[in-house]
Protein backbone atom coordinates (compact mmCIF):
# COMPACT_ATOMS: atom_id res chain seq x y z
CA UNK A 1 0.00 0.00 0.00
CA UNK A 2 1.16 3.55 -0.55
CA UNK A 3 -0.16 6.98 0.30
CA UNK A 4 -1.03 9.80 -2.11
CA UNK A 5 -0.69 13.52 -1.47
CA UNK A 6 -4.27 13.86 -0.21
CA UNK A 7 -3.69 11.07 2.31
CA UNK A 8 -0.51 12.77 3.54
CA UNK A 9 -2.51 15.96 4.18
CA UNK A 10 -5.24 13.95 5.93
CA UNK A 11 -2.74 12.13 8.20
CA UNK A 12 -1.02 15.43 9.01
CA UNK A 13 -4.33 16.88 10.08
CA UNK A 14 -5.20 13.80 12.17
CA UNK A 15 -1.78 14.09 13.83
CA UNK A 16 -2.32 17.84 14.32
CA UNK A 17 0.90 18.76 12.55
CA UNK A 18 0.81 21.68 10.14
CA UNK A 19 2.32 20.65 6.79
CA UNK A 20 2.93 23.15 4.00
CA UNK A 21 2.17 22.22 0.39
CA UNK A 22 5.89 22.25 -0.35
CA UNK A 23 6.57 19.57 2.26
CA UNK A 24 3.94 17.13 0.99
CA UNK A 25 5.93 15.41 -1.82
CA UNK A 26 8.93 14.87 0.43
CA UNK A 27 6.81 13.47 3.29
CA UNK A 28 4.92 11.30 0.86
CA UNK A 29 8.20 9.75 -0.32
CA UNK A 30 9.38 9.10 3.22
CA UNK A 31 6.10 7.61 4.40
CA UNK A 32 5.95 5.39 1.33
CA UNK A 33 9.52 4.20 1.98
CA UNK A 34 8.44 3.15 5.48
CA UNK A 35 5.26 1.50 4.19
CA UNK A 36 7.25 -0.38 1.56
CA UNK A 37 9.58 -1.60 4.30
CA UNK A 38 6.77 -2.91 6.54
CA UNK A 39 5.01 -4.48 3.55
CA UNK A 40 6.99 -7.73 4.07
CA UNK A 41 4.79 -8.47 7.10
CA UNK A 42 2.03 -9.47 4.69
CA UNK A 43 3.93 -12.67 3.88
CA UNK A 44 3.72 -13.91 7.52
CA UNK A 45 0.99 -16.42 8.26
CA UNK A 46 -0.82 -14.95 11.27
CA UNK A 47 -3.85 -17.21 11.01
CA UNK A 48 -5.09 -17.99 14.52
CA UNK A 49 -2.32 -15.94 16.23
CA UNK A 50 -3.39 -13.77 19.17
CA UNK A 51 -2.19 -10.17 18.91
CA UNK A 52 0.17 -9.27 21.71
CA UNK A 53 -1.35 -7.08 24.40
CA UNK A 54 1.23 -7.50 27.17
CA UNK A 55 4.82 -8.58 26.70
CA UNK A 56 5.12 -9.90 30.27
CA UNK A 57 2.41 -12.31 31.39
CA UNK A 58 0.97 -10.38 34.31
CA UNK A 59 -2.34 -9.37 35.79
CA UNK A 60 -3.17 -5.71 35.36
CA UNK A 61 -2.55 -4.19 38.77
CA UNK A 62 -5.38 -2.29 40.36
CA UNK A 63 -5.13 0.46 42.92
CA UNK A 64 -7.48 1.25 45.75
CA UNK A 65 -10.03 3.80 44.60
CA UNK A 66 -8.78 6.48 46.97
CA UNK A 67 -7.32 9.94 46.58
CA UNK A 68 -3.59 9.62 47.33
CA UNK A 69 -2.26 12.71 45.62
CA UNK A 70 -3.42 16.21 44.81
CA UNK A 71 -3.49 19.81 45.98
CA UNK A 72 -0.61 20.49 43.57
CA UNK A 73 -2.29 22.90 41.17
CA UNK A 74 0.74 25.21 41.32
CA UNK A 75 2.95 22.35 40.09
CA UNK A 76 0.50 21.40 37.35
CA UNK A 77 0.45 24.85 35.76
CA UNK A 78 4.10 25.67 36.52
CA UNK A 79 5.29 24.89 32.99
CA UNK A 80 2.28 26.09 31.01
CA UNK A 81 2.91 28.71 28.32
CA UNK A 82 -0.23 30.72 29.25
CA UNK A 83 -2.24 30.54 32.47
CA UNK A 84 -4.56 32.60 34.56
CA UNK A 85 -4.71 31.52 38.16
CA UNK A 86 -4.89 27.77 38.03
CA UNK A 87 -6.35 27.67 34.51
CA UNK A 88 -4.68 26.93 31.16
CA UNK A 89 -5.43 29.61 28.58
CA UNK A 90 -6.39 28.59 25.03
CA UNK A 91 -7.96 30.42 22.09
CA UNK A 92 -11.74 30.66 22.28
CA UNK A 93 -13.23 27.20 21.54
CA UNK A 94 -16.98 27.72 22.08
CA UNK A 95 -18.74 30.65 20.42
CA UNK B 1 43.52 14.57 40.11
CA UNK B 2 42.32 14.07 36.54
CA UNK B 3 43.30 10.39 36.63
CA UNK B 4 40.38 9.86 39.02
CA UNK B 5 38.21 9.85 35.92
CA UNK B 6 39.90 6.72 34.60
CA UNK B 7 38.74 4.53 37.49
CA UNK B 8 35.88 2.12 37.09
CA UNK B 9 32.90 2.62 39.33
CA UNK B 10 33.95 -0.43 41.37
CA UNK B 11 37.46 1.01 41.83
CA UNK B 12 36.08 4.41 42.79
CA UNK B 13 33.82 2.80 45.38
CA UNK B 14 36.92 1.23 47.01
CA UNK B 15 38.82 4.53 46.96
CA UNK B 16 35.91 6.39 48.52
CA UNK B 17 35.46 3.76 51.21
CA UNK B 18 39.20 3.81 52.01
CA UNK B 19 39.06 7.64 52.05
CA UNK B 20 41.84 7.80 49.42
CA UNK B 21 39.79 10.62 47.87
CA UNK B 22 36.46 12.27 48.54
CA UNK B 23 33.35 12.37 46.42
CA UNK B 24 33.92 16.09 45.97
CA UNK B 25 37.37 15.40 44.48
CA UNK B 26 35.97 12.67 42.27
CA UNK B 27 33.10 14.93 41.20
CA UNK B 28 35.40 17.90 40.49
CA UNK B 29 37.65 15.69 38.36
CA UNK B 30 34.66 14.73 36.24
CA UNK B 31 33.33 18.28 36.05
CA UNK B 32 36.71 19.40 34.65
CA UNK B 33 36.66 16.55 32.16
CA UNK B 34 33.17 17.60 31.03
CA UNK B 35 34.32 21.19 30.56
CA UNK B 36 37.26 20.06 28.46
CA UNK B 37 35.08 17.80 26.29
CA UNK B 38 32.31 20.21 25.26
CA UNK B 39 33.20 19.59 21.62
CA UNK B 40 31.63 16.12 22.02
CA UNK B 41 28.29 17.77 22.89
CA UNK B 42 27.49 14.86 25.22
CA UNK B 43 25.96 17.04 27.94
CA UNK B 44 23.04 19.32 27.13
CA UNK B 45 22.98 20.72 30.67
CA UNK B 46 25.80 20.72 33.19
CA UNK B 47 24.81 20.99 36.85
CA UNK B 48 28.15 21.63 38.61
CA UNK B 49 26.71 23.47 41.62
CA UNK B 50 24.18 20.75 42.32
CA UNK B 51 26.86 18.09 41.75
CA UNK B 52 29.18 19.66 44.32
CA UNK B 53 26.35 20.07 46.84
CA UNK B 54 25.37 16.43 46.42
CA UNK B 55 29.02 15.34 46.70
CA UNK B 56 29.58 17.34 49.90
CA UNK B 57 26.44 15.90 51.44
CA UNK B 58 27.44 12.37 50.58
CA UNK B 59 30.99 12.93 51.86
CA UNK B 60 29.48 13.73 55.25
CA UNK B 61 27.47 10.53 55.11
CA UNK B 62 30.54 8.50 54.15
CA UNK B 63 32.39 10.05 57.14
CA UNK B 64 29.53 8.97 59.41
CA UNK B 65 29.60 5.50 57.87
CA UNK B 66 26.02 5.39 56.59
CA UNK B 67 26.64 5.61 52.87
CA UNK B 68 24.58 3.81 50.18
CA UNK B 69 25.87 1.38 47.56
CA UNK B 70 26.61 4.17 45.04
CA UNK B 71 27.79 6.73 47.59
CA UNK B 72 29.74 9.54 45.96
CA UNK B 73 29.66 8.16 42.41
CA UNK B 74 29.16 10.90 39.77
CA UNK B 75 26.70 9.97 37.03
CA UNK B 76 25.23 11.49 33.90
CA UNK B 77 21.48 11.38 33.34
CA UNK B 78 19.89 11.01 29.92
CA UNK B 79 17.68 14.03 29.25
CA UNK B 80 14.68 11.71 28.98
CA UNK B 81 14.57 11.32 32.79
CA UNK B 82 12.61 13.96 34.69
CA UNK B 83 14.86 15.63 37.25
CA UNK B 84 13.21 17.89 39.78
CA UNK B 85 14.16 21.53 39.26
CA UNK B 86 16.54 20.68 36.39
CA UNK B 87 15.44 21.28 32.79
CA UNK B 88 14.31 18.09 31.05
CA UNK B 89 13.67 18.28 27.32
CA UNK B 90 13.97 14.81 25.72
CA UNK B 91 16.16 16.93 23.39
CA UNK B 92 13.04 18.25 21.70
CA UNK B 93 12.19 21.88 21.03
CA UNK B 94 8.63 21.10 21.98
CA UNK B 95 9.51 20.63 25.64
CA UNK B 96 11.42 23.91 25.50
CA UNK B 97 12.37 24.89 29.01
CA UNK B 98 10.31 22.27 30.80
CA UNK B 99 11.43 22.09 34.44
CA UNK B 100 9.89 19.08 36.20
CA UNK B 101 8.36 19.53 39.62
CA UNK B 102 9.02 15.84 40.31
CA UNK B 103 11.83 13.30 40.06
CA UNK B 104 11.74 10.09 38.02
CA UNK B 105 11.65 6.90 40.09
CA UNK B 106 14.94 5.63 38.69
CA UNK B 107 16.90 8.81 39.38
CA UNK B 108 15.38 9.13 42.85
CA UNK B 109 16.64 5.59 43.58
CA UNK B 110 20.12 6.55 42.37
CA UNK B 111 20.19 9.59 44.66
CA UNK B 112 18.79 7.45 47.50
CA UNK B 113 21.84 5.19 47.06
CA UNK B 114 24.25 8.14 47.16
CA UNK B 115 24.99 8.86 43.50
CA UNK B 116 25.83 12.41 42.37
CA UNK B 117 24.30 14.07 39.29
CA UNK B 118 26.78 15.80 36.94
CA UNK B 119 24.19 16.93 34.42
CA UNK B 120 21.80 15.91 31.65
CA UNK B 121 22.94 13.97 28.60
CA UNK B 122 22.14 14.41 24.94
CA UNK B 123 19.92 11.91 23.11
CA UNK B 124 17.96 11.59 19.91
CA UNK B 125 14.77 13.66 20.06
CA UNK B 126 12.27 11.62 22.11
CA UNK B 127 14.79 8.75 21.79
CA UNK B 128 13.89 8.36 18.11
CA UNK B 129 17.10 7.67 16.27
CA UNK B 130 20.16 5.45 16.05
CA UNK B 131 22.91 8.05 15.71
CA UNK B 132 22.02 10.85 18.13
CA UNK B 133 21.60 13.12 15.13
CA UNK B 134 17.95 14.07 15.69
CA UNK B 135 18.56 15.97 18.97
CA UNK B 136 17.49 19.62 18.96
CA UNK B 137 20.86 20.32 20.64
CA UNK B 138 22.77 18.93 17.66
CA UNK B 139 24.69 15.70 17.15
CA UNK B 140 27.02 14.05 19.67
CA UNK B 141 30.59 13.10 18.81
CA UNK B 142 31.93 9.62 19.42
CA UNK B 143 35.23 9.69 21.35
CA UNK B 144 36.39 6.93 18.99
CA UNK B 145 37.73 7.84 15.53
CA UNK B 146 38.98 5.69 12.69
CA UNK B 147 42.74 5.18 12.84
CA UNK B 148 44.50 8.01 11.02
CA UNK B 149 41.25 9.93 10.44
CA UNK B 150 39.89 13.18 11.88
CA UNK B 151 36.29 12.47 10.88
CA UNK B 152 33.89 12.72 13.80
CA UNK B 153 31.72 9.63 14.07
CA UNK B 154 28.32 9.18 15.68
CA UNK B 155 28.15 7.47 19.09
CA UNK B 156 24.98 5.63 18.11
CA UNK B 157 21.60 6.41 19.54
CA UNK B 158 19.34 7.20 21.02
CA UNK B 159 21.46 7.16 24.21
CA UNK B 160 24.39 8.73 22.34
CA UNK B 161 25.23 11.30 25.02
CA UNK B 162 25.26 8.58 27.67
CA UNK B 163 27.58 6.32 25.68
CA UNK B 164 29.88 9.13 24.57
CA UNK B 165 30.20 10.57 28.10
CA UNK B 166 30.95 7.18 29.68
CA UNK B 167 33.49 6.26 26.96
CA UNK B 168 35.18 9.68 27.17
CA UNK B 169 35.48 9.33 30.98
CA UNK B 170 33.17 12.29 31.65
CA UNK B 171 31.00 10.32 34.10
CA UNK B 172 31.40 6.97 35.84
CA UNK B 173 28.13 5.67 34.46
CA UNK B 174 24.95 6.97 32.91
CA UNK B 175 21.27 6.26 32.75
CA UNK B 176 19.90 5.34 29.35
CA UNK B 177 16.73 3.97 27.77
CA UNK B 178 16.18 1.35 25.11
CA UNK B 179 13.09 1.01 22.89
CA UNK B 180 14.69 -0.78 19.92
CA UNK B 181 18.39 -0.85 20.79
CA UNK B 182 19.06 2.61 22.22
CA UNK B 183 21.25 1.31 25.07
CA UNK B 184 23.00 -1.59 23.35
CA UNK B 185 23.80 -0.04 19.95
CA UNK B 186 25.52 3.10 21.37
CA UNK B 187 27.33 0.90 23.92
CA UNK B 188 28.66 -1.21 21.05
CA UNK B 189 29.73 1.91 19.09
CA UNK B 190 31.73 3.29 22.04
CA UNK B 191 33.21 0.17 23.74
CA UNK B 192 31.02 0.61 26.80
CA UNK B 193 28.73 -1.91 28.49
CA UNK B 194 24.98 -1.40 28.18
CA UNK B 195 22.17 -3.54 29.53
CA UNK B 196 18.49 -3.34 28.71
CA UNK B 197 16.78 -5.27 31.47
CA UNK B 198 13.60 -7.30 31.14
CA UNK B 199 10.49 -5.22 30.44
CA UNK B 200 9.04 -4.35 33.85
CA UNK B 201 12.34 -4.61 35.76
CA UNK B 202 12.80 -0.82 36.01
CA UNK B 203 10.09 1.73 36.59
CA UNK B 204 9.20 3.91 33.61
CA UNK B 205 7.64 6.56 35.85
CA UNK B 206 9.09 10.00 35.15
CA UNK B 207 10.78 8.94 31.91
CA UNK B 208 9.53 10.76 28.82
CA UNK B 209 7.49 8.12 27.01
CA UNK B 210 8.25 7.00 23.44
CA UNK B 211 6.66 3.54 22.94
CA UNK B 212 5.39 2.34 26.29
CA UNK B 213 5.25 -1.41 25.57
CA UNK B 214 8.89 -1.39 24.44
CA UNK B 215 10.59 1.35 26.52
CA UNK B 216 12.86 0.13 29.28
CA UNK B 217 15.64 1.94 31.12
CA UNK B 218 19.06 0.61 32.00
CA UNK B 219 22.64 1.75 32.60
CA UNK B 220 25.62 2.38 30.32
CA UNK B 221 28.89 1.81 32.17
CA UNK B 222 32.62 1.16 31.81
CA UNK B 223 32.57 -2.51 32.80
CA UNK B 224 30.16 -5.39 33.27
CA UNK B 225 30.56 -5.13 37.04
CA UNK B 226 29.80 -1.39 36.95
CA UNK B 227 26.64 -2.01 34.95
CA UNK B 228 25.55 -4.64 37.50
CA UNK B 229 26.07 -2.17 40.35
CA UNK B 230 24.05 0.52 38.58
CA UNK B 231 21.20 -1.77 37.59
CA UNK B 232 20.77 -2.93 41.17
CA UNK B 233 19.98 0.64 42.20
CA UNK B 234 17.85 1.42 39.14
CA UNK B 235 15.67 -1.72 39.27
CA UNK B 236 12.75 -2.37 41.55
CA UNK B 237 9.01 -2.34 41.87
CA UNK B 238 7.20 0.99 41.64
CA UNK B 239 3.47 1.25 42.33
CA UNK B 240 3.44 4.33 40.05
CA UNK B 241 4.18 2.16 36.98
CA UNK B 242 1.57 -0.56 36.56
CA UNK B 243 3.89 -2.54 34.27
CA UNK B 244 6.68 -2.59 36.84
CA UNK B 245 7.10 -6.06 38.29
CA UNK B 246 6.95 -6.82 42.00
CA UNK B 247 9.78 -9.31 42.37
CA UNK B 248 12.91 -8.79 44.50
CA UNK B 249 16.00 -7.21 42.92
CA UNK B 250 18.93 -9.62 43.17
CA UNK B 251 22.47 -8.55 44.04
CA UNK B 252 23.55 -8.48 40.40
CA UNK B 253 27.18 -7.96 41.31
CA UNK B 254 27.25 -11.40 42.94
CA UNK B 255 26.74 -12.88 39.46
CA UNK B 256 30.07 -11.45 38.27
CA UNK B 257 32.70 -14.18 38.22
CA UNK B 258 30.16 -16.98 38.68
CA UNK B 259 30.96 -20.06 36.63
CA UNK B 260 29.17 -20.39 33.31
CA UNK B 261 30.10 -24.07 33.09
CA UNK B 262 27.34 -26.14 31.55
CA UNK B 263 25.32 -23.14 30.38
CA UNK B 264 23.70 -23.63 26.98
CA UNK B 265 24.37 -20.74 24.60
CA UNK B 266 22.20 -20.45 21.50
CA UNK B 267 23.73 -19.19 18.25
CA UNK B 268 20.77 -18.12 16.08
CA UNK B 269 21.28 -18.87 12.42
CA UNK B 270 18.94 -16.09 11.28
CA UNK B 271 21.37 -13.47 12.64
CA UNK B 272 23.95 -14.48 10.01
CA UNK B 273 23.02 -11.87 7.42
CA UNK B 274 23.97 -11.80 3.77
CA UNK B 275 26.71 -9.28 3.25
CA UNK B 276 27.59 -9.10 6.95
CA UNK B 277 31.14 -7.73 7.32
CA UNK B 278 33.68 -10.52 7.82
CA UNK B 279 35.02 -8.85 10.97
CA UNK B 280 31.57 -9.02 12.64
CA UNK B 281 31.35 -12.70 11.72
CA UNK B 282 34.84 -13.24 13.17
CA UNK B 283 33.99 -11.35 16.38
CA UNK B 284 30.89 -13.48 16.83
CA UNK B 285 32.86 -16.77 16.45
CA UNK B 286 35.50 -15.46 18.84
CA UNK B 287 32.87 -14.64 21.44
CA UNK B 288 31.38 -18.10 21.09
CA UNK B 289 34.84 -19.63 21.49
CA UNK B 290 35.46 -17.62 24.69
CA UNK B 291 32.21 -18.83 26.21
CA UNK B 292 33.00 -22.41 25.17
CA UNK B 293 36.45 -22.16 26.74
CA UNK B 294 34.75 -21.05 29.96
CA UNK B 295 32.72 -24.26 29.95
CA UNK B 296 29.52 -23.22 28.18
CA UNK B 297 27.94 -25.43 25.56
CA UNK B 298 27.16 -23.91 22.14
CA UNK B 299 24.02 -24.91 20.27
CA UNK B 300 22.71 -23.66 16.95
CA UNK B 301 19.18 -22.33 17.34
CA UNK B 302 16.55 -20.93 15.02
CA UNK B 303 14.48 -17.79 15.56
CA UNK B 304 12.48 -17.98 12.33
CA UNK B 305 10.64 -14.64 12.60
CA UNK B 306 13.77 -12.54 13.16
CA UNK B 307 13.55 -10.69 9.83
CA UNK B 308 10.04 -9.47 10.65
CA UNK B 309 11.00 -7.87 13.97
CA UNK B 310 12.20 -4.59 12.50
CA UNK B 311 9.21 -4.00 10.18
CA UNK B 312 6.79 -4.95 12.99
CA UNK B 313 8.66 -2.55 15.28
CA UNK B 314 8.22 0.26 12.75
CA UNK B 315 4.47 -0.16 13.10
CA UNK B 316 4.15 -0.78 16.84
CA UNK B 317 6.64 1.86 18.00
CA UNK B 318 5.34 4.78 15.86
CA UNK B 319 1.75 3.81 16.74
CA UNK B 320 2.48 4.05 20.45
CA UNK B 321 4.55 7.19 19.89
CA UNK B 322 1.75 8.93 18.03
CA UNK B 323 -0.48 8.29 21.01
CA UNK B 324 2.09 9.20 23.69
CA UNK B 325 3.15 12.37 21.91
CA UNK B 326 -0.42 13.63 21.59
CA UNK B 327 0.19 15.29 24.96
CA UNK B 328 2.44 17.94 23.38
CA UNK B 329 -0.29 20.38 22.54
CA UNK B 330 1.15 23.79 23.38
CA UNK B 331 -1.31 24.15 26.24
CA UNK B 332 -0.01 22.42 29.36
CA UNK B 333 3.75 22.72 29.04
CA UNK B 334 6.51 23.47 26.60
CA UNK B 335 6.45 25.35 23.34
CA UNK B 336 3.38 27.21 22.06
CA UNK B 337 2.97 28.62 18.56
CA UNK B 338 -0.08 30.83 18.18
CA UNK B 339 -2.97 30.05 15.86
CA UNK B 340 -6.31 31.64 15.00
CA UNK B 341 -8.12 28.80 16.72
CA UNK B 342 -7.26 25.84 18.94
CA UNK B 343 -6.62 23.47 16.02
CA UNK B 344 -4.19 25.87 14.40
CA UNK B 345 -2.49 26.34 17.75
CA UNK B 346 -2.00 22.56 18.03
CA UNK B 347 -0.88 22.18 14.42
CA UNK B 348 1.53 25.10 14.44
CA UNK B 349 3.00 24.14 17.81
CA UNK B 350 3.59 20.54 16.76
CA UNK B 351 4.99 21.49 13.35
CA UNK B 352 7.43 23.90 14.95
CA UNK B 353 8.25 21.80 18.01
CA UNK B 354 8.83 18.34 16.54
CA UNK B 355 11.88 17.59 14.42
CA UNK B 356 11.68 15.79 11.06
CA UNK B 357 12.17 12.24 12.40
CA UNK B 358 9.56 12.69 15.14
CA UNK B 359 7.04 14.21 12.71
CA UNK B 360 7.57 11.29 10.35
CA UNK B 361 7.03 8.69 13.08
CA UNK B 362 4.00 10.41 14.56
CA UNK B 363 2.47 10.56 11.08
CA UNK B 364 3.16 6.90 10.26
CA UNK B 365 1.82 5.94 13.68
CA UNK B 366 -1.31 7.98 13.09
CA UNK B 367 -1.78 6.31 9.72
CA UNK B 368 -1.43 2.69 10.94
CA UNK B 369 -3.94 3.37 13.73
CA UNK B 370 -6.44 5.18 11.52
CA UNK B 371 -9.79 3.74 10.51
CA UNK B 372 -9.47 1.21 7.70
CA UNK B 373 -5.75 0.56 8.24
CA UNK B 374 -5.69 -0.60 11.87
CA UNK B 375 -6.22 -4.31 11.08
CA UNK B 376 -3.89 -4.42 8.08
CA UNK B 377 -1.01 -2.77 9.88
CA UNK B 378 -1.27 -2.47 13.65
CA UNK B 379 -3.18 -5.66 14.46
CA UNK B 380 -1.03 -7.70 12.07
CA UNK B 381 2.16 -6.29 13.61
CA UNK B 382 0.95 -7.21 17.11
CA UNK B 383 0.32 -10.77 15.89
CA UNK B 384 3.80 -10.92 14.39
CA UNK B 385 5.10 -9.71 17.74
CA UNK B 386 3.48 -12.72 19.41
CA UNK B 387 5.33 -14.97 16.94
CA UNK B 388 8.66 -13.25 17.60
CA UNK B 389 8.25 -13.78 21.32
CA UNK B 390 7.26 -17.41 20.76
CA UNK B 391 10.49 -18.00 18.80
CA UNK B 392 12.45 -17.09 21.92
CA UNK B 393 10.17 -19.07 24.22
CA UNK B 394 10.63 -22.20 22.09
CA UNK B 395 14.37 -21.69 22.21
CA UNK B 396 14.46 -21.26 26.00
CA UNK B 397 12.12 -24.26 26.43
CA UNK B 398 14.83 -26.37 24.82
CA UNK B 399 17.14 -25.50 27.71
CA UNK B 400 19.00 -22.55 26.17
CA UNK B 401 20.21 -20.18 28.92
CA UNK B 402 21.20 -17.26 26.71
CA UNK B 403 21.64 -16.33 23.06
CA UNK B 404 24.80 -14.80 21.61
CA UNK B 405 24.60 -12.40 18.65
CA UNK B 406 26.52 -9.44 17.26
CA UNK B 407 25.27 -6.17 18.80
CA UNK B 408 25.26 -4.17 15.57
CA UNK B 409 25.68 -4.89 11.85
CA UNK B 410 28.59 -2.40 11.60
CA UNK B 411 30.89 -0.17 13.61
CA UNK B 412 30.17 3.55 14.14
CA UNK B 413 29.73 5.69 11.01
CA UNK B 414 30.21 9.36 10.23
CA UNK B 415 27.81 12.14 11.14
CA UNK B 416 25.37 12.64 8.24
CA UNK B 417 26.46 9.44 6.49
CA UNK B 418 23.27 7.42 6.90
CA UNK B 419 19.54 7.82 6.45
CA UNK B 420 19.65 11.03 4.43
CA UNK B 421 17.79 9.67 1.43
CA UNK B 422 15.93 6.74 2.96
CA UNK B 423 15.01 6.60 6.67
CA UNK B 424 15.05 2.79 6.54
CA UNK B 425 18.84 2.80 6.03
CA UNK B 426 19.23 4.20 9.56
CA UNK B 427 16.63 1.85 11.02
CA UNK B 428 18.66 -1.21 9.95
CA UNK B 429 21.17 -0.38 12.71
CA UNK B 430 18.81 -1.97 15.21
CA UNK B 431 18.35 -5.22 13.34
CA UNK B 432 20.02 -7.36 16.05
CA UNK B 433 18.66 -5.49 19.07
CA UNK B 434 15.01 -4.78 18.21
CA UNK B 435 13.88 -8.42 18.55
CA UNK B 436 14.74 -8.24 22.25
CA UNK B 437 12.41 -5.27 22.86
CA UNK B 438 9.64 -6.92 20.87
CA UNK B 439 9.91 -9.97 23.16
CA UNK B 440 10.46 -7.95 26.37
CA UNK B 441 13.69 -9.82 27.16
CA UNK B 442 16.91 -8.65 28.81
CA UNK B 443 19.90 -7.97 26.55
CA UNK B 444 23.45 -6.81 27.27
CA UNK B 445 26.04 -5.38 24.86
CA UNK B 446 29.66 -5.99 25.81
CA UNK B 447 32.73 -4.67 23.97
CA UNK B 448 34.46 -7.58 22.27
CA UNK B 449 36.98 -6.26 19.76
CA UNK B 450 37.79 -3.73 17.06
CA UNK B 451 37.34 -3.60 13.32
CA UNK B 452 40.14 -3.08 10.80
CA UNK B 453 39.84 0.70 11.23
CA UNK B 454 40.30 0.48 14.98
CA UNK B 455 36.65 1.06 15.87
CA UNK B 456 35.02 -0.89 18.70
CA UNK B 457 32.53 -3.68 18.09
CA UNK B 458 30.24 -5.33 20.60
CA UNK B 459 28.51 -8.63 21.19
CA UNK B 460 25.02 -9.02 22.52
CA UNK B 461 23.74 -11.64 24.96
CA UNK B 462 19.98 -12.18 25.23
CA UNK B 463 18.57 -13.82 28.34
CA UNK B 464 15.40 -15.36 29.71
CA UNK B 465 12.95 -12.96 31.35
CA UNK B 466 14.32 -11.62 34.66
CA UNK B 467 17.55 -13.61 34.35
CA UNK B 468 19.85 -10.59 34.05
CA UNK B 469 22.29 -12.38 36.37
CA UNK B 470 23.07 -14.93 33.65
CA UNK B 471 23.91 -12.06 31.30
CA UNK B 472 26.27 -10.50 33.83
CA UNK B 473 28.08 -13.82 34.38
CA UNK B 474 28.46 -14.43 30.64
CA UNK B 475 29.26 -10.77 29.92
CA UNK B 476 32.09 -10.92 32.42
CA UNK B 477 33.59 -13.90 30.56
CA UNK B 478 33.61 -11.86 27.34
CA UNK B 479 35.05 -8.80 29.08
CA UNK B 480 37.81 -10.87 30.67
CA UNK B 481 38.71 -12.44 27.33
CA UNK B 482 38.41 -9.31 25.18
CA UNK B 483 39.81 -6.80 27.66
CA UNK B 484 38.60 -3.24 28.05
CA UNK B 485 38.96 -0.54 25.41
CA UNK B 486 39.62 3.18 25.92
CA UNK B 487 39.68 5.75 23.11
CA UNK B 488 42.77 7.90 22.52
CA UNK B 489 41.92 11.43 23.65
CA UNK B 490 41.65 13.96 20.79
CA UNK B 491 39.19 16.46 22.24
A41/B308 touch (CB, cutoff 8 Å), yes or no = yes
Determine the Cα–Cα distance for residues B6 and B8; give it in Å rounded to an integer: 7
A51 interface with B at CB cutoff 8 Å = yes
Nearest to A17 among B362, B377, B389 (CB): B362
* Predicted pLDDT of residue B66: 86
* Predicted pLDDT of residue B388: 98
* Predicted pLDDT of residue B2: 47
- CA-closest candidate to residue B271, choices B307, B235, B239, B299: B307
Residue of A nearest to B381 (CA): A41
Interface test with A, best of B351, B355, B430 (most A CBs within 10 A): B351
Q: Does the predicted TM-score (pTM) go above 0.80?
A: yes
B150 interface with A at CB cutoff 8 Å = no
A11 interface with B at CB cutoff 8 Å = yes
* Predicted pLDDT of residue B33: 98
* Predicted pLDDT of residue A62: 85
Q: Is B182 a catalytic residue?
A: yes
* Predicted pLDDT of residue B117: 98
- Convert the pLDDT of each residue in B146-192 to its tens digit: 999 999 999 999 999 999 999 999 999 999 999 999 999 999 999 99
* Predicted pLDDT of residue A61: 83
- Convert the pLDDT of each residue in B238-255 to its tens digit: 999 999 999 999 999 999
Provide the Cα torsion B351, B356, B358, B361; round to 10°.
110
Q: What averages of pLDDT result for each successive group of 10 residues across chain B (491 residues)? A: 86 96 98 98 98 98 93 98 98 97 98 98 98 98 97 97 98 98 98 98 98 97 98 97 95 98 98 91 97 98 98 98 98 96 97 97 97 95 98 98 97 92 86 98 98 97 98 98 96 96
Helices H / strands E in chain B, number of each: 15, 11
Provide CB contacts within 8 A for A4, sequence distance 6+: A28
* Predicted pLDDT of residue B1: 44
Residue of B nearest to A34 (CA): B424
Please count the residue pairs, one from chain A and one from chain B, whose beta carbons lie less than 8 angstroms apart: 163
A52 interface with B at CB cutoff 8 Å = yes
Residue pair B157/B124 in contact by the 8 Å Cβ criterion: yes
B369 interface with A at CB cutoff 8 Å = no
Determine the Cα–Cα distance for residues B57 and B117; give it in Å rounded to an integer: 12
A56 interface with B at CB cutoff 8 Å = yes
B346/A16 touch (CB, cutoff 8 Å), yes or no = yes
Determine the Cα–Cα distance for residues B289 and B296; give it in Å rounded to an integer: 9
B57 interface with A at CB cutoff 8 Å = no
A55/B98 touch (CB, cutoff 8 Å), yes or no = no
Instruction: From chain A, pick out residues whose CB is under 8 angstroms from the CB of B385.
Output: 51-52, 55
- Complex prediction ipTM: 0.96
Beta bridge mates, B297: B264
Q: Is B135 a catalytic residue?
A: no
Residue pair B226/B172 in contact by the 8 Å Cβ criterion: yes
Determine which one of B23, B104, B182, B244 is catalytic.
Answer: B182
Cα atoms in the Cβ-side hemisphere of radius 13 Å centred on B416: 3
Amino acid sequence: MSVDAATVRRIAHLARIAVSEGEVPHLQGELNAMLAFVEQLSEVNVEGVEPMTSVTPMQMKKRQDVVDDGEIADDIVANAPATEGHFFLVPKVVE
Amino acid sequence: MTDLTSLTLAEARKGLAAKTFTSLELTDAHLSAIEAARVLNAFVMETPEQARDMARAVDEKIAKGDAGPLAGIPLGIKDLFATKGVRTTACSKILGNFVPTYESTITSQLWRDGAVMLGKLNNDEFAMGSANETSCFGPVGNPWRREGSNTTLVPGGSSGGSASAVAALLCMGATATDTGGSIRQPAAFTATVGIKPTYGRCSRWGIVAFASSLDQAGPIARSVRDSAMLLRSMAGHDPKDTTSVDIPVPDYEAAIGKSVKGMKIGIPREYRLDGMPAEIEKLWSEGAAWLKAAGAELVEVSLPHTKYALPAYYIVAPAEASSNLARYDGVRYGLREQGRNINELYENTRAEGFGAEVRRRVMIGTYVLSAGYYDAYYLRAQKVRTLIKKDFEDCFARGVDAILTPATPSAAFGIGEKGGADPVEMYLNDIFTVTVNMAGLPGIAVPAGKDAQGLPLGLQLIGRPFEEETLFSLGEVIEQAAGRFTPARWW
